[in-house]
Amino acid sequence: SYELTQPPSVSVSPGQTANVTCSGHKLGDKFACWYQQKPGQSPVLVIYQDNKRPSGIPERFSGSNSGNTATLTISGTQAMDEADYYCQVWDSSNVVFGGGTKLTVL
């Protein structure tokens, strides 16, 4: 079965750029999505189709996907961005989630 690998944790200073990666075999051939989940809350879609933002998601969230790696980039990271982030793709019509990355804003 298809697997997505994320680093367990990423740290960033306020105002800096955070990059959260997601790796999988030929991941660039698939559309990647990203979800933000804050403690005690439901996940929120922040990126779909590799780099598109749903309505209401701040412009500081962006995405890219090429080769074997998809990346969620948060520019000018704010304290409110501290959360768990999950990547997700479809593989043979099945949904696959990554293991999640805890973003800490120090």
Partner 1 sequence: QITLKESGPTLVKPTQTLTLTCTFSGLSLNTTGVGVGWIRQPPGKALEWLALIYWDDDERYSPSLKTRLTITKDTSKSQVVLKMTNMDPVDTATYYCAHSPSHCTNGVCLIYYYGMDVWGQGTTVTVSS
Judge residue 74's burial from the number of C-beta atoms within 10 Å of its C-beta, 0-12 exposed, 13-18 middle, 19 or more buried. Answer: buried
* Sequential DSSP letters for 25-37: TTGGGS--EEEEE
Contact with partner 1 (CB under 8 A) among 35, 81, 83, 105:
35
| Closest separation in Å from C-beta 98 to partner 1 | 7
Site string for partner 1, 72-101 (x = CB under 8 A): --------------x-xxx--xxxxxxxx-
For the chain, percent helix, then strand, then coil, each to nearest 5?
Answer: 5, 50, 45
Binding site for partner 1 (CB under 8 A): 1, 30-31, 33-35, 37, 42-45, 47-49, 54, 86, 88-90, 93-100
